Structure 1
């Protein structure tokens, strides 16, 4: 990798690792919550069809719609059918959206679609792919970002422009896109089967706008994100935020169906000010098959991205260690599940650091070892 990558990854490690250690030291209960969450997610995997059915009933009870997609192609067909003539789209950071190639597909359809997470927006401008699950643009230095914004957004931005000014210019551009958007498309950090609620964590505020300002909200995520109750869903987002180094998260967004009001005789009426339509697309794309395989444990991953910073292969190869957006140790597992790609597993050095830091106590080296066997059987 380049000198720029070495600088970027070392800064990221120095910024992230001490923060996570401090969070866990000051909030010891989080480790107990993580242990409980592992057991909870295993119960869901043991009876996944029942939990999918329960989620569907819960969402529909609130006036939302649930769609089951067996693969990426089917997911995109569903999205296009929901959108119909809607052409202006805002999206929030989601690895599943990359998994189904959502932005690429909709751009090819001529739609005006924009990433609203700052890192993802920069990746979009760079015609690039994310280098990390949580921090997609860590491979871009401030100088590179300034050049991108100069060429694509505002020619007055230069090497002397502060990070604060850059963010301000992007914020102004994206606000215009929010106000014009016909639909907002998000992923999900967790889904509560008992209420049909979709939970999303963030710090920028863009997801909150994506989910309430456009009149159609589409949430797309894997079936592995389903947990039994709303309490379990909060547990998942708290653990993910903590191990990513963002505790407390600035925002936890909870969406339960389309907008509604109860201000007339306490009768629930929908829609209200927010979206008229809510659609949840649950994606399989290899996940059910993985439940019954020797890499089932990979499905417990909550995508906190912490394993990246303890991985010598990721430090050396960057986003080439995996198939973006699924890079790093996490990405080796998810590439095997969703696209049956096993070759990048051969770059793993088996340091074991990933297992030591995983909140879900996944034996990641063992999972990657089994993926290596698959690659060798194919070769």
Structure 2
């Protein structure tokens, strides 16, 4: 641990001296919390939905085995393939094996923290596949060889000048340092990739056990391309994403955007139940209409069951990955998620890191927490992160 901690301290010192980083992160600490505060005053139903989702998640954790089995039955009934992966390595291997056996070459991806968790891109590349992230933020950090710094806005640590410079270098042409030009450059590059891809990989904001439905929320529209255009769609999600009903799953997914960035609704909510199909010719059902012919849903454990069985930390599984706790955190404002995190950032990230990657990775993160309690005050699931951090320090 000493070697890792020493390296971590060096990175902290470097971050504190990086004015561009702190300028970029300052926008998180001002814009998102302010927008969220104003929006929640305009949503009279928010508190009802929040409490409902919390109750649904608590119930789901108590009945997770039954829900996973129900999800499996309904996912398969809908014509998709279900796979349960005990470890990240198993999940990544399954995805690579499926794509390799189909002769896939180009894989496009939607934003997914769980695929970051299992280092899927690395596994795909090592398996001889080309991988392209299609979320703007994920695309930017991919071409820079970095990790996400926020679960919702992964490139929030970058300034417009840094982004334009990276795009100019990658595209081998000058991209002006203005927001519209940068978005246009990425959009033009990605457009043909959507239709040339052999497979698409996404995460899931929620999965409904009663119907086998995958719920994906987004603003950019890329996840719809990723899940619709290629002939194969693979979903990778943690077991904590399973909800009893499709209504629970949709309501839970709708809580993410208001809390994360202060918007009332996401631009897109996709509900995917099985691969595409048509019965328009003599009522004979044929899979593979305009969308994918194959849908695979991979449910991942990777330390989650162990967390569930630990009464001190099980409520960390209720995390929506909305990033609201990061937006208000004074440490995150100074360091960002790439420093104060391994894959998952901040105080909640320290808890997740300890169960997925071990205490050595989690220790520096846990001891950076200031115990100010701001994260708990804004968490829509009321997770007591500071108390968990104290318990983690004693582990």
TM-score by length of 1: 0.95
Aligned 1:224-239 pairs, distance under 5 A: 224-239=240-255
Q: Which runs of 5+ in 1 are unaligned?
A: 375-379
Secondary structure of the 1:131 match is coil
Contact (CA 8 Å) 1:322, 1:335: kept in 2 or not? no
Q: Distance in 2 between matches of 1:322 and 1:72?
A: 22
**Once the 2 structures are TM-superposed, how far is the Cα of residue 175 of structure 1 from its aligned partner?**
0.9
Q: Tell me which residue corresponds to 2:333.
A: 315
Q: Is 265-274 or 346-355 further displaced after alignment?
A: 265-274
- 1:199 pairs, out of 215, 239, 247, with 215
Q: Alpha carbon RMSD of aligned pairs, Å?
A: 1.3
Give CA deviations for 1:201-240 in whole Å, capped at 9, x if unaligned. 1000000000000000000010000000000001111111
Q: Tell me which residue corresponds to 2:5.
A: none
- 1:80 pairs, out of 72, 75, 96, with 96
Is 2:194 aligned against 1:184? no
Aligned 1:162-311 pairs, distance under 5 A: 162-244=178-260, 245-264=262-281, 268-293=285-310, 294-311=312-329
Secondary structure of the 2:255 match is helix
Contact (CA 8 Å) 1:86, 1:182: kept in 2 or not? yes
Q: Distance in 2 between matches of 1:36 and 1:338?
A: 28
Is 2:142 aligned against 1:124? yes
Q: Tell me which residue corresponds to 1:46.
A: 62
- 1:15 pairs, out of 27, 31, 54, with 31
Q: Tell me which residue corresponds to 2:346.
A: 328
**Once the 2 structures are TM-superposed, how far is the Cα of residue 143 of structure 1 from its aligned partner?**
0.4
Contact (CA 8 Å) 1:203, 1:250: kept in 2 or not? yes
Contact (CA 8 Å) 1:303, 1:330: kept in 2 or not? no
Q: Is 66-75 or 269-278 further displaced after alignment?
A: 269-278
Contact (CA 8 Å) 1:94, 1:186: kept in 2 or not? yes
Secondary structure of the 1:351 match is coil
Q: Is 22-31 or 53-62 further displaced after alignment?
A: 22-31
Q: Distance in 2 between matches of 1:65 and 1:172?
A: 33
**Once the 2 structures are TM-superposed, how far is the Cα of residue 43 of structure 1 from its aligned partner?**
1.0
Contact (CA 8 Å) 2:148, 2:338: kept in 1 or not? no
Aligned 1:142-157 pairs, distance under 5 A: 142-157=160-175
Secondary structure of the 1:359 match is coil
Is 2:132 aligned against 1:111? no
Secondary structure of the 1:347 match is coil
Q: Which runs of 5+ in 2 are unaligned?
A: 1-14
Contact (CA 8 Å) 2:343, 2:353: kept in 1 or not? no
**Once the 2 structures are TM-superposed, how far is the Cα of residue 3 of structure 1 from its aligned partner?**
0.6
Contact (CA 8 Å) 2:93, 2:123: kept in 1 or not? no
**Once the 2 structures are TM-superposed, how far is the Cα of residue 109 of structure 1 from its aligned partner?**
2.5
Q: Distance in 2 between matches of 1:219 and 1:54?
A: 17
Secondary structure of the 1:114 match is strand
Contact (CA 8 Å) 2:202, 2:234: kept in 1 or not? yes
Change beyond 3 A, Cα 1:320–1:81: closer
TM-score by length of 2: 0.91
Q: Distance in 1 between matches of 2:209 and 2:350?
A: 28
Q: Tell me which residue corresponds to 1:342.
A: 362
Contact (CA 8 Å) 1:342, 1:372: kept in 2 or not? no
**Once the 2 structures are TM-superposed, how far is the Cα of residue 297 of structure 1 from its aligned partner?**
0.8
Is 2:22 aligned against 1:6? yes
Question: For this pair of structures, how many residues does the alignment match?
Answer: 372
**Once the 2 structures are TM-superposed, how far is the Cα of residue 196 of structure 1 from its aligned partner?**
0.4
- 1:140 pairs, out of 148, 151, 158, with 158
Is 2:112 aligned against 1:91? no
Q: Tell me which residue corresponds to 2:385.
A: 364
